[in-house]
Structure 1
Amino acid sequence: MQTPIPCNMINGVIFDLDNTLVSSALDFDWLRQQLGCSADTDLLQYIDEIPTLSLRKKLQQTVIDYELADARQSTVMPQCQQLLSYLNQQNIPTAVVTRNCAQAAILKINHHKLQFKHIVSREDFAPKPAPDALVYIAEQWQLAPQNILYVGDYVYDLQAAYRANMPSCLVTNGENLPFTQQASIVIQSLGGLIKILRQQAYMLPQERDRVECNIQSGN
């Protein structure tokens, strides 16, 4: 099992989208069954490896249509607006890296009036758990990956952060998840991250250098 990257000084935050910033009712088990994909196979990889171009494009469009329908009925997650407002006040840059298609990601973000300079979808880089998109954001910000926190709700998010040499924050949304030990920080909702970042803001420089935020937060 991977050991999470220690979380020291956070100078940038990257977010997953679905069930992290906005809700999602996507049922990938059901979708796999509809598309003939086995339960233990990554759906996007399964589609990409289909040799027949016409069938591959058909299945890709089926997934996009499903994502767009989900985007139209999404809601913003608890404490999302408060967290983004706090990060903006602290001049901490933010971005989104999602496995969603670009259309669905932009639809969700615009619908809920969220603002991000960088929105990276699966059309831009290899999808998570590949680290490519996270590495790209770090280069754009000219920040060390160790000083950027990736926030998500699924094991792919933790794996991508680890491969990018970034600390990770797992949002459990109140669920008992089996992969919490792979996260640098575990919170129930986004409000818990506000508390952690405020604690960091009040630390002296020498304290920031020592702290390792492998924290379990109840909020």
Structure 2
Amino acid sequence: MAYQTILFDIDNTLINSANLIATTLQKGAAAEGVDVPLAEYRKRIGRPGDDILKEFGVKNWQKVLDGYMVEFAKNMHELSYFPGIEALIVNLRKLGIQTGVVTSKDRVQFDAETKYFPLIAEAEIVTTSDLTSEPKPSGEPLLYTLQANHLDREQTLYVGDSVFDMQAAANAQMDFAGASWGALAGGREFDQAKYVLARPDDLLKLI
């Protein structure tokens, strides 16, 4: 399939960030008396933080989320691209492939994090969670991205690490590639994926 546009999730697809997200959310919730194992947070990475906190019964979720933003910002300098991601993005752009991100971060979170990741900040297409009423796993963020950027659905591929990314692509009737380098179960959960990628450069073979 000749794709003209590649859209990426960010956390644990481009950036190795899931552990920092999970531990920071867990710490904030525990301070409010909600003690949930770290693994349960890790399973839900890919959804907005407020959704995760509400699911776990955190009543003061906005307070926790505000504290999370401060704590996460303090530690963002420790984050890094997954090996091969920088070369992948550069090579896609050299090939004339349009790249973008569709993320569960809102615009404030996106701008803060991508100060450390200019390749992501320079993406031609950016869809943050505050642009749509329904987050992933709804297909709305991807459908919004297609419409707002006049993209051909058949020539657009979404790449993500979680089952929520896969479900969003399925709901938008888009092709999906599982990024198994960041996936919790090593890609075994990607039963609806058109492709399962072992390494970032495997994506170039689809172009």
Kindly indicate whether the alpha-carbon contact (under 8 Å) linking 2:166 and 2:190 is maintained by their aligned counterparts in 1: no
Cα-to-partner distance string for 1:122-146 (whole Å, 9 max, x where unaligned): 2222321122221111112322323
Kindly indicate whether the alpha-carbon contact (under 8 Å) linking 1:170 and 1:185 is maintained by their aligned counterparts in 2: yes
One of 10, 20, 23 as aligned partner of 2:16:
23
One of 179, 185, 191 as aligned partner of 1:171:
179
One of 175, 181, 185 as aligned partner of 2:191:
181
Aligned residue for 2:191, secondary structure, equals helix
Kindly indicate whether the alpha-carbon contact (under 8 Å) linking 2:9 and 2:101 is maintained by their aligned counterparts in 1: yes
Matches of 1:22 and 1:46 in 2, distance apart?
Answer: 20
Q: CA deviation at 1:51?
A: 11
Identity of aligned residues (%): 23
Matches of 1:31 and 1:124 in 2, distance apart?
Answer: 23
Check 1:146–1:104 CA distance in 2 against 1; reply closer, same or farther (3 A cut). same
CA RMSD of aligned residues (A): 2.9
Which sections of structure 1, spanning at least 5 residues, go unmatched?
A: 1-7, 198-219
Matched, 1:77 2:87: no
| Aligned ranges 1:56-135 → 2 under 5 Å | 56-114=61-119, 115-125=122-132, 126-135=134-143
Compute the TM-score of the two structures, normalised by the length of structure 2.
0.76
Compute the TM-score of the two structures, normalised by the length of structure 1.
0.72
- What residue is the counterpart of 1:145 in the other structure? 153
What is the total number of aligned residue pairs between the two structures? 188
Cα-to-partner distance string for 1:96-125 (whole Å, 9 max, x where unaligned): 111224333223323122121332222222
Check 1:60–1:14 CA distance in 2 against 1; reply closer, same or farther (3 A cut). same
Larger Rg: 1
Aligned residue for 1:75, secondary structure, equals coil
Kindly indicate whether the alpha-carbon contact (under 8 Å) linking 1:68 and 1:103 is maintained by their aligned counterparts in 2: no
Kindly indicate whether the alpha-carbon contact (under 8 Å) linking 2:50 and 2:61 is maintained by their aligned counterparts in 1: no
Quick check: 58-67 or 15-24, which moved more? 58-67
Matches of 2:199 and 2:110 in 1, distance apart?
Answer: 21
Aligned residue for 1:162, secondary structure, equals helix
Kindly indicate whether the alpha-carbon contact (under 8 Å) linking 2:157 and 2:175 is maintained by their aligned counterparts in 1: yes
Check 1:182–1:70 CA distance in 2 against 1; reply closer, same or farther (3 A cut). farther
Cα-to-partner distance string for 1:8-37 (whole Å, 9 max, x where unaligned): 331211100012111112353773552538
**Larger helix fraction of residues:** 2
Kindly indicate whether the alpha-carbon contact (under 8 Å) linking 1:67 and 1:100 is maintained by their aligned counterparts in 2: no
Matches of 1:46 and 1:195 in 2, distance apart?
Answer: 35
Question: Given residue 121 of structure 1, which amino acid in structure 2 is its aligned partner?
Answer: T
Cα-to-partner distance string for 1:132-176 (whole Å, 9 max, x where unaligned): 221111112322323210111111110111111111111111753
